[in-house]
Amino acid sequence: MTDSHAHREAADNTVGSSRRRGFDRRHVLKTTAGSAAGLSLAGCLETAGSILGSDDVEPVTIGVLAPNPDSDSTGRSIVQGARTAVDELKKAGGINGRDVEMAVGDTNSSPQEARRQYQRLVLEEGADVTVGISTSEALVPLMDDIAEQETLHLTAGSATTTASQKVNEEYEKYKHHFRVGPVNGSNLAQAQIEFLTEKGGDIGWNSIAVLAEDYDWTEGLWSFYQSRFSDLDIDVTMWNRYPPATDDFSSIYDDVEASDADAAFISTAHTGTKAIRDWGPAQREFAFGGIHVPMQLPSYYRLTDGACRFAVGYASATATSELTDKTQPFVKMYQNRYGGQSPVYTGFISYDAVKLFADAAGRAGTVDSETLVGTLEDTSFTGTTGTLEFHGPDHQFAHDVIYGEENVQPIYFQWQETDDGEGVQEVIWPDEHASAEYVDPTWF
């Protein structure tokens, strides 16, 4: 038996070990509340204190929920972004003088597994906060688990408005949920309007063909576009919410060209790579951009052999962006820690979530979730993606990060090629964060 193994076994045999404290704390509190008859409050607290041990020696545990972090870029970046923050906190002396540890739950892209891993992190690993969950399909059913455990959860990935609406409608039940990023689906749609309004004319997108894959996640976007695009000074030449699993865009792009659109404005996740491969290499006579989830990957240029060159995408942040004075230092730390890899958008957000939690805990002097709800509602924290502030309980998007140029405003980038043939995500909007000018495809 190795020394480390013996140490772990000894710790696991101690009721106050860090990996059991979360379970024991909740078990003790619920038990003392349910059997108060015959026991004084002081007696309950004394018993609980003797079992749990002293707070000043317990490490603070950050629970991280991510899909397939060994193989999925989004999930891997959630874990690596959070770990970068934890490493930084350790070097700085921890949280309130306590060490910081991190426990990971692989959700396996399954809502059921997400719930199981959440329960494990909170009840077995003793997580003081959980961070992550990249999909709406996993977050929505998890909201009841978060409510039951009354443990702070900071979302880093899902954009569904359902979570924040639950907080607004049943505040006391769901108040432990906060969305650090990305901006919610409603704000996401608003960002598209602002990009087209402020930048469309400058880059020659005076007319667009609106395309969206027919999956649930685009339903709200599609309705928003149809209700708002008529107000733009940009002509919409065609609408096409194309079928799921479309693997040939030839006829769709024939229609785009026939409509004489300057650009195809697309919303895609599942079909994005095929849409790119049928555009750039085929040298279609229109520009291409919009919400394109795969194109956010820093490695996407290499993965598509440069097929995404000149395409425009949207992200919370990129390796070239400088949204605050914390953006580039984080990128450098991440790249140094992970062999030159750059973070996906979820990495920026999970890093911010952990640092935000530490800041709030430091100001409040505790990691108690009930206390930190109020602290976070009053917070203003500079993260890598902007100034993080949250809507209050009475807002329709309660506890969502506030969208706007003074807070968190996503950026648009264009894939451009460097002199040595590498691809880079150059920011083209907002103008104050631009790292390069928009470039027309060379075949125009």
Per-residue pLDDT for 4 more than 60?
no
pLDDT of residue 380: 98
Checking DSSP bridges between strand 423-429 and strand 381-382, what pairing results, if any? unpaired
Of 199, 219, 196, 191, residue with least CA distance to 209:
196
The amino acid that residue 234 corresponds to is I
Q: State both tokens at 170.
A: 């049943």
pLDDT at position 334: 98
Predicted local confidence at residue 44, as pLDDT: 39
pLDDT above 50: residue 198: yes
Residue 2 identity = T
Q: What is the pTM of this model?
A: 0.85
Instruction: Say if residue 43's pLDDT is above 70.
Output: no
pLDDT at residue 135 in the model: 87
Instruction: Please give the pLDDT value at position 57.
Output: 63
CB 343 within 8 A of CB 81: yes
pLDDT, tens only, 57-107? 689 999 999 999 999 999 999 999 999 999 999 999 999 999 999 999 999
Q: What is the mean pLDDT of the chain?
A: 89
Residues 147-184 as b or e (16 or more Cβ within 10 Å = b): bebebbbbbbbbbbbebbbbbbeeeeebbbbbbbbbbb
Does the pLDDT at position 199 exceed 50?
Answer: yes
In this prediction, residues 217-240 reach a mean pLDDT of 92
Residue 94: the pLDDT is: 97
Could you give the CA distance from residue 155 to residue 133 in angstroms, rounded to a whole number?
6
Contacts of 14 (CB under 8 A, 6+ apart): none
Asked if residue 182 has a cis previous peptide bond (ω within 30° of 0), the answer is yes
* Least confident interval from 43-52, 177-186, 193-202, 226-235: 43-52
Query: What secondary structure does DSSP assign to 345-379, as a single string?
Result: HHHHHHHHHHHHHHHHHHHHT---HHHHHHHHHT-
d(CA 199, CA 320): 19
> Looking at the predicted structure, is the pLDDT value of residue 216 above 90?
no
Q: What is the pLDDT of residues 256-314, one digit of tens each?
A: 999 999 999 999 989 999 999 999 999 999 999 999 999 999 999 999 999 999 999 99
Is it the case that residue 368 has pLDDT exceeding 70?
yes
pLDDT band at 220; cut points 50, 70, 90:
confident
> What is the third-level CATH fold of 59-183+327-388?
Rossmann fold (3.40.50)
Question: Binning pLDDT at 50, 70 and 90, where does residue 12 land?
Answer: very low
Q: What share of the chain is helix, strand, coil (3-state, %, to 5)?
A: 45, 20, 35
> Measured between alpha carbons, how far is 136 from 142 in angstroms, rounded to an integer?
10
**C-alpha to C-alpha distance for 399 and 393, rounded to whole angstroms:** 7
Rg (CA), the chain: 24
Task: Give dist(CA 240, CA 193) in Å, integer.
Answer: 18
Distance CA(218)–CA(291), nearest Å, equals 10
Supply 379's token pair.
Answer: 């917070």
Fold that domain 186-315+410-433 belongs to in CATH: Rossmann fold (3.40.50)
**CA atoms of 328 and 141, how far apart (whole Å):** 35
Dihedrals phi, psi of 327, to nearest 5 degrees? -65, -55
Check residue 354 and give its pLDDT. Answer: 98
- Top pLDDT among 396 and 50 is at 396
* Half-sphere exposure at residue 208, Cβ-oriented, CA atoms within 13 angstroms: 27
Give the rounded percent of residues in the chain with a pLDDT score beyond 70: 87
The size of the chain, in residues, is 444
Average pLDDT score over residue span 154-165:
94
